[in-house]
Amino acid sequence: MELKQLEYFMAVCKELHFTRSAEKLGIAQPSLSQQIRLLEHEIGTPLFDRIGKKTVITEAGKILQNHCYSIFEELSQAQFAINELQGLQRGTLKIGALLTVVNYLLPEAVIEFHRSYPNIELSVLGLRTGDIYSRLLQNELDLGIVMLPMEHDELEVTPLYKDNLAFAVPIDHPIAKHDEAKIDLLQQTSSILLPNSYFMREIINEHCRLAQFTPRPILEMTTMESIITMVEKGAGITILPKAYLEHIDNKLIQIVPIHEPVIGIEIGVVYRKNKRLGRASGIFLEQLLAAVKR
């Protein structure tokens, strides 16, 4: 059983499609299939089944997949320990962050880290909560920045800061003159919101449910920038984190706090408990905490 075969096996587990997996790996599809067959011969049982046009993992494949997570994590930790000896002169740091915090929370910490450790390959990915969660558990990320709570036996949480959600309305909207507004404003006027699959939208939906209505936005958009553009053009109102709205300081938009109830959120950093928080991760976390306190 060769390490390269296990890498190929994990690629197929992720894609569940031999042609796509081969393209991602940069090899020919017949070569990939041959290596999987050799691995299956070595193990003595099929790792994948074909059901119609679909590729599915067998029970034996699932067992091997779980062990592969541990194998590659151990290899990663070995490389990590070696890099530590070199005093942060090389290595990687992969961070997954909510799209809602990438633009206004991370730039200062990212710039400071890169300035101090230019040889560390830093990757910051804007992802949804569910993607951050799964990638952390699969050891594809070192740190995740999410809305709390995120509870899992294998994850450690460090709170960063608390914020409130607020309405963002066009500057000439009647509500722009108000000091605050209730959540049922969404029931009375056109709105643009994040899709239902986003954690922030789930929070909004829950508060609307408590107010005994269901929000029905005229548009759903996946980035805050696109939502803000629609709001400033007068297409409707939205709800976003107050810290983000203050950060962009858009003169065409008025921030109106939500009251009765105030909708609070908390942002935190999560990482695997059994994955040693190395110097690179630890330093970045310290810089992030310092940036939040400023």
Residue 139 has which token pair?
A: 């050891």
pLDDT at 283 over 90: no
Same domain for 175 and 237? Answer: yes
Q: pLDDT digits over 58-79, tens only?
A: 999 999 999 998 888 888 877 7
What integer best gives the mean pLDDT of the chain?
Answer: 90
Q: Which of 54, 75, 96 is the last residue of a domain?
A: 75
Same domain for 181 and 103? Answer: no
Residues 15, 24 contacting (CB under 8 angstroms):
yes
Q: Which of 51, 75, 99 is the last residue of a domain?
A: 75
Same domain for 152 and 173? Answer: no
Residues 6+ apart with CB under 8 A from 21: 8, 11, 12, 14, 15, 32
C-alpha pair distances (Å), 137 with each of 61, 70, 90, 129, 272? 18, 11, 24, 13, 7
Residue 273, pLDDT score: 83
Interval 255-281 mean pLDDT = 87
Same domain for 67 and 14? Answer: yes
Same domain for 251 and 176? Answer: yes
Counting other chains too, the contacts that 289-293 makes at CB distance below 8 Å and 24 or more residues apart are: 289/158, 289/160, 290/109, 291/105, 291/108, 291/109, 291/112, 292/105, 292/160, 292/161
CATH code of the domain containing 235: 3.40.190.290
Q: Which of 75, 93, 123 is the last residue of a domain?
A: 75
Same domain for 116 and 248? Answer: no
Q: pLDDT digits over 4-14, tens only?
A: 999 999 999 99
CATH code of the domain containing 53: 1.10.10.10
Q: Assign 160 a pLDDT band (cuts: 50, 70, 90).
A: very high
Same domain for 278 and 155? Answer: yes
Q: How many domains does the chain have?
A: 3
Same domain for 28 and 41? Answer: yes
Q: pLDDT digits over 197-247, tens only?
A: 888 999 999 999 999 999 999 999 988 999 999 999 999 999 999 999 998
CA–CA gap between residue 161 and residue 236 (Å, rounded)? 29
Residue 85, pLDDT score: 54
Same domain for 71 and 99? Answer: no
Beta bridge partners of 224: none
Phi then psi dihedrals of residue 263, to 5 deg:
-100, 100
Same domain for 84 and 147? Answer: yes
Domain that includes residue 41, residue range: 3-75
Same domain for 192 and 278? Answer: no
pLDDT at 172 over 90: yes
Residue 73, pLDDT score: 82
pTM above threshold 0.75: no
